[in-house]
Structure 1
Amino acid sequence: MPPTVRHNRLVLVNGEEGAGKSTIVRALLPHTPNGARIDAEDLGQTNPCLMDDEFFNLLRRNVAGLVENFWTAGYANVIAGSFLRDYPDYLAFRELLRLPCAVFLVELVVDKDVRDGRRVTRAKLTTQEWRDMVDLIPEDLTIRQAADPDYRYVGLDTTGLDVPETVRRIKDAIPEIYAR
Structure 2
Amino acid sequence: MPFKSFKRLEIPDVILVEYTIFPDQRGFFTELYKKTAFHAGGITYDFAQANLSFSRKNVVRGLHYQLKPAEQGKLVYVIDGRVYDVAVDIRRGSPWFGKYVGVVLEPGLALWIPPGFAHGFQALEDSYFLYLVTKEYSQQLERCILWDDPEIGINWPIREGVILSERDKKCPRLREAEINFEYPV
Larger RCO (CA within 8 A; separation ≥ 6) = 1
- The answer to which structure has the higher helix fraction is 1
Pair in the same fold by TM > 0.5: no
TM bracket (short chain): 0.3 to 0.5
Q: Which is strand-richer, 1 or 2?
A: 2
TM-score (norm 1): 0.33
Normalised TM-score (structure 2): 0.32
